[in-house]
Amino acid sequence: MDQTFTAEEAEQQRIDAMGPRLGSLCSLLVEECNLLHLEWAEYVELFGSSPERIDLLNQSAGGFFCMLQDCLWENALLHIARLTDKSASYGKRGKENVSILALPPLVDSAIRPRLDALIGAAETECKFARDWRNRRIAHRDLELALGGCATPLEAASRASVKQALASIAGVLNALELHYLGMEIAYDSIHSHVGAKALLYVLRDGIEARNAQDLRFKSGQLLPEDLAPKGPI
């Protein structure tokens, strides 16, 4: 049976089962993974579902949605890269990161080999995102930008993002299954007031605009067609 907990209840369950350090880190990673899956689901809803939806976006505000597509794409790659960063960044002061790589030293020895294997697989699946983050998004490689002899960016696609998300979720679910006997269905995370709701409004608005255009052409105007529109 599916169970629902508040974020605070879920975190306390993890702390009780895993201890304060691991439980708190796991909760942070789960929160990040939830957000990443939600943001990616919104991207796919808008830009990865059907040609008809792309056409709808282009008819509505093509330039804006093109920018939004780029922003959501890069945000997903940045998020994937962050979750697979080294467990600590070093400079004048070392600082720990919220990363799945920080988990192994904190877990029971019984799950350590499986977790190490899953994290290794996740690093491989997420390698493309780290390359994009390092040479295209967070920093801009000059040779790459100039089209010179730089090594091309790692191939990236919706399929590779989906695999990367599944690999990160696999690490966290293995941990939760070991300590709590349950998993999170990350693929089922969607917003009821997000991209799909916007698509319906856009569709209705375009249909209304097209109907108004036909009335103007036929001369059969309605009173609201001539009413001045206020600023938005």
**CA 126 – CA 133 distance, rounded (Å):** 11
In eight-state DSSP terms, residue 151 is P
DSSP codes, 152-221: PPPP--HHHHHHHHHHHHHHHHHHHHHHHS----GGG---TTSHHHHHHHHHHHHHHHHHHHHHHHHT--
Report the candidate in 184, 158, 144, 191 with the shortest Cα–Cα distance to residue 77. Answer: 158
Instruction: Tell me the pTM.
Output: 0.90
Q: What pLDDT, on the 0 to 100 scale, is given for residue 32?
A: 97
Q: What is the pLDDT of residues 112-169, one digit of tens each?
A: 999 999 999 999 999 999 999 999 999 999 999 998 777 999 999 999 999 999 999 9
Per-residue confidence at 1, pLDDT binned at 50, 70, 90? very low
Q: Where are the domains of the chain?
A: 7-191
What is the enclosing helix (H) or strand (E) of 96?
A: strand 95-96
Report the candidate in 91, 117, 99 with the shortest Cα–Cα distance to residue 33. Answer: 99
Mean pLDDT of 99-104: 97
Q: Which residue has the higher pLDDT, 88 or 70?
A: 70
Q: What pLDDT, on the 0 to 100 scale, is given for residue 44?
A: 97
Per-residue confidence at 7, pLDDT binned at 50, 70, 90? confident
Q: Which residue has the higher pLDDT, 232 or 207?
A: 207
Q: Cα 23 to chain center, whole Å?
A: 23
* pLDDT(2) > 70: no
